[in-house]
Amino acid sequence: MIQGYDIVCCAPDPWHSIWRNRQQIMSILAEANRILFVEPRAYLRPTLAAFWRGEWGLRDLRRPLVEPVRPGLWRFQYPLYAPISGRYPLSVWTYRLQVRALRRAMRALGFSRPLLWLYRPDDRDLVGQLGERLVIYHVVDEYSAYEEGYEDRVAPGKREAIRRKEQALLGQADLVFAVSRPLWEAKRPFNPNTHLVPNGVNYEAFRTAVGTPPPEDLAAVPPPRVGYVGNLNEKVDLSLLRHLAEARPDWSLVLVGPVSLRFDLHLVDALRLPHVHFLGQKPVEALPGYVANLDVCLMPYKRNEWTRHISPLKMYEYLACGKPIVSTEIPAAREFAHLLYLAEDPDAFLGLVARALEEDDPALAAARQAEAARHTWRARVEQMSSLIEAALSARA
């Protein structure tokens, strides 16, 4: 693993939100490096709306911008007095205030010549502003596909604008990580130093959860428990889950994670049935106990451009617990087809869940865990560290 570097990681979500690969990777890197985890910039309208709802007050304008999270890792919040407005010339002044605040935080921590680690094209405007020695772009999704199917509800040309911004960042980056083969194939033409680094798993945490008692709220759910652990957003096929719930009221459908839909919220309301259990977001350290106590784990994704490019963290977590997994047929799942049940349509999905509930194969469960053991976050960090060192040498 790389050692002794200052790393400024610009994340698209707060540190305390649902944990994704950035929190996992930066937690490990913080053992031998110093990390400033930069939370996303606020926007003017949501910031004002939160103020009028009483979620923050004027005293919060002077809140600490830097807070320690753990040894070697701090989180940075942009000042509330400089939200993104999108209107010129205000946008120019807020941008300058944001960069000044970030530089001030770096100086206070003694950060110098950091590795600038970006996760979204929106942070491309920071390139060249922080005295960085290397620019890393970590691609985890096909961002232009987020609004696929909802183009009539977003600003015209938004998807194309995202593509242009990302291509510009790809051209500026010294090193690019892509979490899936389709993403690697899509981004490599714009930057030859693009490398495939899939997501991973905290293997020991999930492996050792097998056989432990279920968390209290899950224990109250009658078996069999068929569940999805993760973010409920537009990539999840909620109509498929409704089909499953209506067809089998004798199964408990368990949903662990936040609901973050922006469109078609009525699909969530349609799922509020007596045997469907919304357990909400859980702390990262509690998740293994939920996965390990499901009878069948689900990956009920839509089949579209977004999901064609994903590398689901939950797949590795399910495998680490040795659980039967039923997934729609997406590329990431096809790579592990010998360990999963893959469905091409809703009726097949339903039938495979029934089949998975009947599974009694300790050897197959062990094979799943053995596969997961090959995909730990530490192994991923070692792979990325080697690529970072090579990029630094090449740049020198």
pLDDT at res. 371: 98
- φ, ψ for residue 268, nearest 5 deg: -70, -45
Tell me the pTM. Answer: 0.94
In sign, the C-alpha dihedral spanning 11, 13, 19, 21 is negative
The CATH class, in words, for 203-372 is alpha beta
pLDDT at res. 43: 72
Is residue 344 within 8 A of residue 389, CB to CB? The reply is no
Q: What is the mean pLDDT of each run of 10 residues along the chain (396 residues)?
A: 97 94 98 97 68 63 81 92 69 85 95 97 95 98 89 82 96 98 97 98 97 97 97 96 97 97 92 97 96 98 96 97 98 96 97 97 97 98 98 90
Residue with token string 């053992």:
31
> Do the strands 325-328 and 296-299 form a parallel or antiparallel pair, or are they unpaired?
parallel
pLDDT at res. 281: 95
Is residue 162 within 8 A of residue 142, CB to CB? The reply is no
Q: In what order do the strands lie in the sheet with 115-118?
A: 66-70, 73-76, 34-38, 6-10, 115-118, 134-139, 175-178, 194-196
Fold adopted by 6-200+376-395: Rossmann fold (3.40.50)
Q: Exposed, middle or buried, 395 (CB in 10 Å: 0-12/13-18/19+)? A: exposed
Is residue 162 within 8 A of residue 143, CB to CB? The reply is yes
What are the extents of the domains in the chain?
6-200+376-395, 203-372
pLDDT at res. 87: 67
264: left (phi over 0), alpha (psi -120 to 50) or beta: left
3-class secondary-structure state, position 77: coil
**93 half-sphere exposure, CB direction, 13 A CA radius:** 6
> Do the strands 34-38 and 66-70 form a parallel or antiparallel pair, or are they unpaired?
unpaired
Is residue 255 within 8 A of residue 217, CB to CB? The reply is no
pLDDT at res. 229: 97
CA distance 391 to 396: 9
